[in-house]
Structure 1
Amino acid sequence: MFNDKIEMVLLDMDGTLLNSQSEVSPKNKEILKQLISKGYKVAIATGRNYHEARSVVKDIAGLAYITNNGSHITDFNGEIIFNRTIGQEDTISLLKIIESYPSLNYSLAAPEEIYMKSKLKFIKMVLSHKGVFKNKLNLFKSFALIKRLIRLFNSRKTSDNIYEVLKNSSLAVQKIDVMGKIDEMESFKKRIVESFGEKFKLSSSSKDNLEINPLNISKGTGLVYLADKLGIDVKNCIAFGDGGNDLELFDIVGTSVAMSNSEFSELKKKADIIAESNDDDGVAKILTRLLVVKA
């Protein structure tokens, strides 16, 4: 049910605030700027790391960031107020299990950098997932997606020996993102639980990925921490999302909005409101209607 005392807006990025070209539409951008100018608090809540999230919305001033699924939080002044990592030994143990599955690819996300096992495999997986190889996207969208992937390719790092990097650097791994075939992903998830019990927080932003965070870390815990710092009741917050990693956020927030393009039926069932898709300015349309700002 909608709470008319909204003080803070939380926004997932991919599939929610961002369209299929991984951009913030002019309408979405204008609405967020209006809300901030009127005194509303607006926070990004994403599985992306801080560097990538900030770079996509850099021309929107005054945002807070809950990134790496809640492992890293910065306030509205850009100050780090929360930071949690996966230990080095645990990271190495997890990577050895991942590497036993031929189809799985992984990335290690720190606040400012990301290491990947294979950039080429990652790009192939994303293109296949988005439907480029199946002609589901038109030519313009395909080129826009490829352009984005080239930026990711250039910004992410690889190493011939990631174990040496982990042992000899200060890389602060906050999230391990694993992508691959859905059947192998299910097997992998079961093996993680069998090997480590409930030592890690497991979530998914899409059907073909698994996101591994430190225990008791989620977008939901990130909301609670940020709201407490601001003296805001979580019931006076509205959150938008489309993925499995938004489920706990929806359990906590006062008003939850799922995108119509979401693949997660459970998320839609939890939601108070279903918005139009991320390609139809769903975020802007709901905020315009509920918070009485200009479209």
Structure 2
Amino acid sequence: MKKRILVTDIDGTLSHGEEVHPDVAAACTRLRENGWEIMVATGRILATSKNHIKAIGAWLPAIVYDGARLMDPLTGKSLWEAALSSRAVDMVLTEGWSAPLELQIFTDEAAICRKKDKETRLFLTEADVPVYDNLQTPHVDERVFRIIFYGSEHEVLQLEERIGETLHDHVDVMRSGKNFLDVVPLGVSKGAALSHYVDQLQPGPEILVAAGDHCNDLALFDIAHLRVAPRDAVPQILERAHVVMPPAHAQGFVRLIDFLLSGHWTNSSRTKRVVL
């Protein structure tokens, strides 16, 4: 039997913060009871995604690290991954070292930062993620999957432009939120990781629905049969969405699931925009 798969971003799409609303969790249970399977595709690491995965029953392989890793949510085993080269890591860190932004370097379910990156240390420590805050120079020896710069939108945009101009042959750079700049290995994206998973399915899925709200979700839209965005998504996402749902703070995911269970996701839903 062909799978019906819903792939969703977490922050700003499924939920806000560290908890999934009970109504959203209940709706996801209804969806799974009707034969659908759920998959998360997030910039988070697996450790900080587990509460959301458990709440919605997303037991398909999890796309994490903004696509740099595909991981089994039950065992924590990496099923596929791509790391930044040591040279690329050094070049990115050197380029962004003096920017007035927080720095987060993600290794294998752990993070590296500087003493001054206080928000990074606080958030990840509260999530029980190992944080090593002894970075003093723009170099690390560990295997790195993703680098994040966090801070003012203006500074994020400036650094995005600089890295994009000077390092475009070495890394991919994208915004995963207004104040977040992600740097991943060249060719890596949520969409590339999803393609890797879908290509192994025999037969392929009957329907592949992707929901996202920011620029790092655009690659998911390239793969999906049906593209879904919350009303407060960035313009680049909204202009490509087949279905627009209420925002995460209004539990828009419940409306999406009601729509999917209604069966109105036929070809007609892809020729005329549906606003839920």
Instruction: Please give the range of the TM-score, normalised by the shorter of the 2 chains.
Output: 0.7 to 0.9
Determine the C-alpha separation between the residues in 1 that align with 2:105 and 2:196: 24
Unaligned runs of 5+ in 2: 264-276
Higher relative contact order, structure no. (Cα contacts within 8 Å, ≥ 6 residues apart): 1
Aligned to 1:58, what secondary structure does the other structure show? Answer: helix
Aligned to 2:258, what secondary structure does the other structure show? Answer: helix
The answer to whether residue 63 in structure 2 is matched with residue 66 in structure 1 is yes
Go from structure 1 to structure 2 and tell me whether the alpha carbon gap of 1:56 and 1:119 turns closer, same or farther (over 3 Å shift).
farther
Structure 1 length normalisation: TM-score?
A: 0.78
Q: How many pairs align?
A: 259
* C-alpha displacement of 1:150: 7.0
Determine the C-alpha separation between the residues in 2 that align with 1:76 and 1:228: 20
Aligned to 1:42, what secondary structure does the other structure show? Answer: strand
> Percent identity of the aligned residues?
23
Question: Which structure carries more helix by proportion?
Answer: 1
* C-alpha displacement of 1:99: 1.1
Structure 2 length normalisation: TM-score?
A: 0.83
Determine the C-alpha separation between the residues in 2 that align with 1:254 and 1:274: 15
* C-alpha displacement of 1:122: 4.5
Q: Look up the equivalent residue of 2:179 and give its one-letter code.
A: D
Aligned residue for 1:280? 250
* 2:90 maps to which of 69, 83, 92: 92
Aligned to 1:51, what secondary structure does the other structure show? Answer: coil
* C-alpha displacement of 1:277: 0.9
Go from structure 1 to structure 2 and tell me whether the alpha carbon gap of 1:162 and 1:87 turns closer, same or farther (over 3 Å shift).
farther
Aligned residue for 1:80? 78
* CA deviation map 1:210-261 (0-9, x unaligned): 1111011111111111112223546720011111101111122110111112
RMSD (Å) for aligned C-alpha atoms = 2.7
Q: Which moved more, 1:195-204 or 1:271-280?
A: 195-204
Aligned residue for 2:12? 15
Unaligned runs of 5+ in 1: 124-145
* 1:187 maps to which of 158, 178, 189: 158
Aligned residue for 1:110? 107
The answer to whether residue 134 in structure 2 is matched with residue 151 in structure 1 is no
Determine the C-alpha separation between the residues in 1 that align with 2:140 and 2:37: 37
Aligned to 2:200, what secondary structure does the other structure show? Answer: helix
Aligned to 1:230, what secondary structure does the other structure show? Answer: coil
* C-alpha displacement of 1:164: 9.5
Aligned residue for 2:272? none
Go from structure 1 to structure 2 and tell me whether the alpha carbon gap of 1:225 and 1:232 turns closer, same or farther (over 3 Å shift).
farther
Determine the C-alpha separation between the residues in 1 that align with 2:14 and 2:62: 14
Aligned to 2:218, what secondary structure does the other structure show? Answer: helix
Go from structure 1 to structure 2 and tell me whether the alpha carbon gap of 1:189 and 1:235 turns closer, same or farther (over 3 Å shift).
farther
Q: Which moved more, 1:204-213 or 1:8-17?
A: 204-213
* 1:237 maps to which of 188, 194, 208: 208
* 2:23 maps to which of 20, 27, 33: 27
Determine the C-alpha separation between the residues in 1 that align with 2:256 and 2:3: 13
